[in-house]
Amino acid sequence: MPLRKPPIPRLLLNNVSCMRNAQQILRHVNVSLHDGGALVLTGTNGSGKTTFLRMLAGFSRPSAGEILWNGHDITQSGIFHQYKLQLNWLSLKDAVKEKFTVLDNVQWFEVLEGKQGRSLPALEFMGLGRLANEKARMLSMGQRKRLQLARLLAIDRPIWLLDEPSVALDDEGVKLLEYIIAEHRKKGGIVIVATHLTIDIEDAMILRLPPRFPRRMTLVDMLDRSDI
């Protein structure tokens, strides 16, 4: 019986390194993700988690190695054009337009995507249905994060790049986040999360980025030392 070739990973980081301002941030990273896969990036402040996500989003290029999507290098312009349409990006900068209504803040992205009818159900799911017609400046930090998550649902692209998605969410918000991640993966979506906080993501690959600088004494260390 002929042996079947294993499928090509949907996303493959092959020995990827990344420099910023002439400094090496990421070194020889190897990751392979198939449909339904999840990767959690952890590490100290400044270890390169956001840099990693930005590189996957195509905002910066690897200084060495390659990022392959369906076996093709994402930095090739023809490929990048297709690849970027696969991405949903959630960052700490929430791009919420304060003068727009909550609904418009989601719908605007949905319309750009050529879709309609998903924004209000997405907001309702995230617990913001009653605020849909309020101006976005009324929202608390946690509600703004819920709005960002509603955008993910309304736009619904296969690869989610999430930078600290649980920051400012209450317990129920974190449960909703975990739920939508699990559902997205069931449909074959890929989720890559950079986080300091615990998010329950079943069978996720964990990549702990090493600290970039030699550790110096922190206030917490000093408090622990009786001789100081």
Ligand X SMILES: Nc1ncnc2c1ncn2[C@@H]1O[C@H](COP(=O)(O)OP(=O)(O)OP(=O)(O)O)[C@@H](O)[C@H]1O
Per the listing, tokens 């960002």 go with: 148
**Strand 72-73 relative to strand 64-69, pairing:** antiparallel
Least distance (Å) between residue 86 CB and ligand X: 22
Strand, coil or helix: 116: coil
In terms of CB distance, is 135 or 212 closer to ligand X?
212
DSSP annotation of 92: S
Q: How far is the CB of 186 from ligand X (least distance, A)?
A: 28
Contact footprint for ligand X (CB under 6 A): 20-21, 25, 43, 45-51, 212
- AA letter at 116: Q
Smaller CB separation from ligand X, 43 or 65:
43
Tell me whether residue 6 or residue 214 sits nearer to ligand X (CB atom).
214
Shortest Å, Cβ 59 to ligand X = 10
Give 55 or 150: the residue with its C-beta nearer to ligand X: 55
Structure tokens at 158: 């296969």
> What is the rounded distance in angstroms from the CA atom of residue 41 to the CA atom of residue 39?
6
The CA–CA distances, whole Å, from 135 to 49, 89, 97, 127, 139 equal 32, 23, 9, 16, 8
Minimum CB distance to ligand X, residue 42 (Å): 9
Task: Give the full edge-to-edge strand order of the sheet including 38-42.
Answer: 87-90, 159-163, 190-194, 38-42, 205-208
Whole-number minimum distance, CB 107 to ligand X, in Å?
30
**One-letter identity of residue 122:** A
Nearer to ligand X, 92 or 138 (CB): 92
